[in-house]
């Protein structure tokens, strides 16, 4: 079984925040951490980057007894991070975004979505202002007709199993809109898997109360009202709903409540 968490860091406070959150998760799961720094060129690497990260690794072991390694590579973050996540035998990626200031001045808005959509394993995105979550008690999982929905389902199960969280399988009903057959299959499959795992699943069907093309605002309103600790989304928009789904995903990733967002289904996930 894969038991490693990849934590990309740009050696800023946001990167440190991702490391702290990943450490909490690692301690309760028994996973190890890999602190991962990517530089675009050999010239731009801080001379003390490895020293800083190794010092962090020692501190993490001393304070939390979590095994921690350091990895530094060169190249484009949109290529190097997804490649390492796929080839390094990891269970999870934890990454922080600075919001509009960007991860290395790049990871914001569409760019954080660009990154997670290329990562084939579950990726937890937190914001620099996100609260540290010690126990994931409530998770909102918006159901969709996406064929890769199983990826979001499995990612949610990973976190729900840590703390026996309650998962809210959420959907919005629009008048005159019929749910696709694939969506009904996804709902049925989710119910069966959660019952088998013994994890509490609450089915939530809300009438549309926010009149917009997409669903992000209503999903976020519900997550906030129910006191959710996380929202789980599919990283890649289906072709059928691409024209609004991309904007929806960006809004959720950079939500004003600073809720962590678990992304799944990047690249190809069967």
**What does the pLDDT look like over 143-163, one tens digit per residue?**
988 888 999 999 999 999 999
pLDDT score recorded for residue 137? 96
Ordered domains of the chain (ranges, CATH): 4-127 (3.40.50.620), 138-260 (3.40.50.620)
What b/e sequence results for 254-270 when a residue is b if at least 16 CB atoms lie within 10 Å of its CB, and e otherwise? bbeeebbbbbbbbeebe
CA gap 211, 181 in Å, rounded: 24
Q: What is the mean pLDDT of residues 214-227?
A: 94
pLDDT score recorded for residue 105? 41
CA dihedral 142, 245, 233, 88 (to 10 degrees): 160
Is pLDDT of 27 > 50? yes
Q: What is the mean pLDDT of residues 96-101?
A: 70
Q: What is the DSSP-derived secondary structure letter of residue 123?
A: E
Mind listing the pLDDT tens digit for each residue in 8-20?
A: 998 889 999 999 9
pTM equals: 0.91
Which of these ranges, 39-43, 109-113, 193-197, has the smallest mean pLDDT?
39-43
* DSSP SS3 for 63: helix
Are 242 and 209 in contact by the 8 Å Cβ rule? The answer is no
Q: What is the mean pLDDT of residues 199-220?
A: 90
pLDDT score recorded for residue 42? 58
Q: What is the mean pLDDT of residues 192-211?
A: 93
Tokens of 153: 């389902």
Tokens of 259: 């809720």
pLDDT score recorded for residue 108? 44
Tokens of 76: 């484009």
CA gap 142, 77 in Å, rounded: 29
Is pLDDT of 29 > 60? yes
Q: Count of CB atoms within 10 A of residue 56's CB? A: 22
Q: What is the mean pLDDT of residues 118-140?
A: 95
Cα–Cα separations (whole angstroms), residue 228 to 58, 140, 232, 235, 250: 33, 7, 11, 20, 19
Q: What stretch of H or E contains 244?
A: helix 242-253
pLDDT score recorded for residue 10? 87
pLDDT score recorded for residue 238? 64
Assign 3-state DSSP to the chain and report helix, strand, coil percentages, each to 5.
40, 20, 35
Average pLDDT, the chain: 88
Tokens of 97: 């975004």
pLDDT score recorded for residue 110? 59
Is pLDDT of 241 > 70? no
CA gap 216, 87 in Å, rounded: 32
pLDDT score recorded for residue 239? 60
Q: What is the mean pLDDT of residues 80-88?
A: 94
CA gap 167, 231 in Å, rounded: 10
Q: What is the mean pLDDT of residues 33-40?
A: 91
Tokens of 8: 């990309």
Mind listing the pLDDT tens digit for each residue in 40-58?
A: 765 555 568 889 999 999 9
């Amino acid at each position: 079984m894969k038991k490693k968490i990849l934590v990309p860091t740009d050696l800023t406070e946001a990167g440190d925040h991702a490391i702290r959150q990943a450490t909490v998760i690692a301690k309760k799961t028994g996973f190890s951490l890999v602190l991962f720094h990517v530089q675009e060129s050999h010239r731009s690497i801080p001379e003390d980057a490895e020293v800083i990260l190794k010092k962090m690794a020692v501190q993490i072991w001393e304070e939390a007894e979590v095994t921690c390694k350091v990895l530094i590579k060169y190249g484009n973050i949109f290529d190097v991070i997804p490649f390492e996540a796929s080839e390094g035998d990891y269970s999870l990626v934890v990454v922080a975004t600075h919001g509009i200031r960007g991860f290395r001045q790049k990871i914001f808005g569409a760019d954080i979505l660009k990154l997670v959509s290329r990562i084939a394993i579950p990726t937890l995105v937190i914001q620099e202002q996100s609260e540290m979550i010690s126990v994931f008690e409530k998770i909102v999982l918006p159901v969709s007709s996406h064929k890769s929905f199983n990826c979001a389902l499995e990612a949610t199960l990973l976190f729900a199993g840590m703390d026996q969280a309650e998962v809210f399988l959420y959907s919005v009903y629009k008048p005159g809109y019929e749910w696709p057959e694939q969506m009904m299959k996804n709902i049925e499959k989710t119910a069966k898997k959660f019952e088998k795992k013994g994890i509490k699943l609450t089915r939530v069907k809300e009438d549309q109360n926010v009149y917009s093309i997409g669903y992000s605002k209503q999903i976020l309103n519900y997550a906030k009202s129910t006191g959710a600790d996380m929202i789980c989304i599919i990283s890649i928009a289906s072709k059928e709903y691409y024209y609004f789904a991309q904007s929806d995903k960006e809004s959720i990733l950079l939500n004003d409540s600073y809720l962590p967002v678990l992304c799944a289904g990047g690249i190809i996930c069967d």
